[in-house]
Chain A
Amino acid sequence: MIVQALAFYLFAIMTVAAAVMVVSARNPVHSVLFLILAFFNSAALFVLLGAEFLAMILVVVYVGAVAVLFMFVVMMLDISFAELREGFLQYLPLGGIIGLILLLELAIVLGGFVFSPEASEHFAAPIPKGGAVSNTEALGEIIYTNYVYFFEAAGMILLVAMIGAIVLTHRTRSGVHKQRISDQINRRPEDTVEVKDVPTGSGI
């Protein structure tokens, strides 16, 4: 038990510290690296909660894809982050107050946190009792059966995202020379070569 608590505090502190560094680091590349650290630590927190599937997804999707994408964007776009951060202190009091209000509101909501007594009878897909299946397996069992409609719908959304990206960015470039083989084969000597009868000695 104590090992678990220690691990929790270690990962939680690391997550918060890395998150602070993301905002405060001077070099944007360092920010992204700290972001990756924060993702890894939150994945560890998920493992502690027994949600190993979420932990895997976090590492694969966020660390593997999103963070790398961030890295590309940071390196390719020429953004002066020092300039962006200039007004930071100026807005801190207002932002701080709003943050505090949100925190208090969350405390109020969580203070009144009561599960409906009948809730557990209504679970759409209850967790199998006794820990017989890992939650990856449990998710796998329903996602292609009970939730196949959602799975397909998500596929359609991704298709739209792809079409959208192409529609908004693809341009047909003019002045590109392509080889048109049929044109080449169909060329006949009569169309292109003209035989001139030049009288001898008169020049052209």
Chain B
Amino acid sequence: MTQLAFPDLTLALPEIFLAAAAMVLLMLGVFSRESAAARTVSYASILVLLFTIVMVGLVTDGRAVTFGGTFIVDTFAVYMKALVLLSAAAAILMSREYLETNKIFRFEFPVLVVLAALGMLMMISANDLIALYLGIELQSLSLYVIASFQRDSSRSAEAGLKYFVLGALASGLLLYGMSLVYGFSGSTGFDALAKLFHGDAEHGVPLGVTIGIVFIIAGLAFKVSAVPFHMWTPDVYEGAPTPVTALFAVAPKIAAMALFIRIMVGPFGDLSDQWQQVIIFISVASMLLGAFAAINQTNIKRLMAYSSIGNMGYALIGLAAAGHSGDAEISASGVEGMLVYLAIYMFMNIGTFACILLMRRQGRHVEDISALAGLGKSNPALALALGIFMFSMAGIPPLAGFLGKLYVFQAAIRAELFTLAIIGVLASVVAAFYYLRIVKIMYFDAPEEEFDGPVSFEMKSILVVSSIFILFFILLPVPLLDSAAAATASLFN
């Protein structure tokens, strides 16, 4: 037997740290006093997540693999991991008040979020089909549990169960696709697959590989809740506790999109003729459904669910453009647009959910859109923040949401996907209707009772940071654009 080199653990240091920290946090929660446990573990896990961002930033140098090529660290991974960790930390920060009012503030919540974040980091760094699957399962399993964290509420339990059953189905589809790809190619490693499929576009691809790719796309589309695999989204978003919904809307989607990009432009990059059509269809269907189905919603969490379906449609425009065969520069511009879009999407969603979490009357959280009536008079600051997020989501210049859409549409036009770009613009016009309706309700409808005060420091800081980002991104877009460009470049070399 040949002696195997010991894997380079330094590359996986952030993940190892996060795994160890999750276990330490668990012990901390179990052994500290019951009354203080949840609060201590909550703040400790935010620190752990922020420290992991620093570690993620430190370990990179270009592109490196470890564990026999199954684990990859590159600038793309660093960018995506930073987004995921930031949104997970924000979700924990936002959760305290809600969980306390609903009497479900237990220390397992932050621990499960940390474990989910670990799963997401593993997804982003996956360079092998098995690593991909294990990352997805670690992430999903933690999320299923926190979806039904409010276990005395039947809606929360239903949300968790629905998510679990449909998620298991999606995992089945994904595994089936992966086994087909493995069966027809003999390898699970992304590098080996890329080498194998290189130049395959000319002399035809085995049918099994095509079917496998379609199944993998179906499984991943479920994870980003793109049409036609979106059915679970509104119910799960509505039923799950609001801070959990805030997490669902951001972190897992960014991680799954990272996986989508990595697997499509990596091993299957030369087979883009096989998957570009599928992505275009998913993207168009998501944008249209997100635009039209949200119009009739009265619950703001359901509205955000449809909005996130639509937003994933816009992000997938970038991936469709990345499927442009021939010119690597055009493909790169698609991925770059997508990365910028996802970063802006993260800030908009975290801000909006912070506003939703502040909708409290007499110590109870309300979720009806009509409850926002007259907010412009009763709480001008909150109304202004929510107004900024809504205008940004609707894509009104000069807010950040406009620029995000602009970059993906530009990429689509460069890749000559004119129909896709036009449908995207039209869908965003329709979607503007329901975003602006919220602004209208806040400023022009007869005022209702005031929301409960006072706003805690955590919430204030989240609202201020995200609205400043959205408002002033246009003045200083260079740092984000540069890092997105660097991330894309590391993917295409």
Name A's B-contacting residues (CB within 8 A).
109, 112-116, 118-124, 141, 145-150, 153-154, 156-157, 159-161, 163-164, 166-168
The 8 residue pairs across chains A and B that have the minimum distance between CB atoms: A119-B186, A164-B145, A149-B67, A153-B134, A112-B207, A122-B187, A167-B108, A123-B186
Asked if B115 contacts A120 (CB within 8 A), the reply is no
**How far is it, in angstroms, between the C-alpha of A141 and the C-alpha of B2 when the chains are bound?**
10
Asked if A150 contacts B186 (CB within 8 A), the reply is no
Closest to A144 in B: B4
Given A153-B134, A154-B134, A167-B112, CB of A160 within 8 Å of CB of B142: yes
The total of Cβ contacts below 8 Å across the A-B interface reads: 106
Within 8 A of A (CB), among B118-165: 118-119, 122, 130-131, 134-135, 137-138, 141-142, 144-145, 148-149, 151, 160
Confirm or deny: B19 has a beta carbon within 8 angstroms of a beta carbon on chain A.
yes
Looking at the complex, which of B189-197, B397-405, B460-468, B484-492 is the stretch in contact with chain A?
A: B189-197
Within 8 A of A (CB), among B91-130: 106, 108, 111-112, 115, 118-119, 122, 130
Confirm or deny: B208 has a beta carbon within 8 angstroms of a beta carbon on chain A.
yes
19 A-B contact pairs sorted by A residue (CB < 8 Å): A109-B207, A109-B211, A114-B206, A116-B196, A119-B187, A124-B187, A145-B4, A146-B4, A146-B68, A147-B68, A149-B71, A150-B70, A153-B131, A156-B119, A156-B138, A159-B23, A160-B138, A160-B145, A164-B144
Confirm or deny: B188 has a beta carbon within 8 angstroms of a beta carbon on chain A.
yes
Confirm or deny: B26 has a beta carbon within 8 angstroms of a beta carbon on chain A.
yes
Asked if B141 contacts A167 (CB within 8 A), the reply is no
* CB contact between A119 and one of B131, B134, B185 (< 8 Å): that residue: B185
**How far is it, in angstroms, between the C-alpha of A200 and the C-alpha of B492 when the chains are bound?**
103
- List 10 extra interface pairs beyond A114-B184, A149-B12, CB under 8 A: A114-B208, A115-B206, A116-B209, A119-B185, A119-B187, A122-B192, A149-B67, A153-B131, A163-B115, A164-B141
Name B's A-contacting residues (CB within 8 A).
1, 4, 7, 12, 19, 23, 26, 67-68, 70-71, 106, 108, 111-112, 115, 118-119, 122, 130-131, 134-135, 137-138, 141-142, 144-145, 148-149, 151, 160, 184-189, 192, 195-196, 206-209, 211
Given A157-B138, A164-B144, A167-B106, CB of A148 within 8 Å of CB of B112: no
* CB contact between A150 and one of B1, B119, B130 (< 8 Å): that residue: B130
**How far is it, in angstroms, between the C-alpha of A164 and the C-alpha of B151 when the chains are bound?**
12
Asked if B1 contacts A163 (CB within 8 A), the reply is no
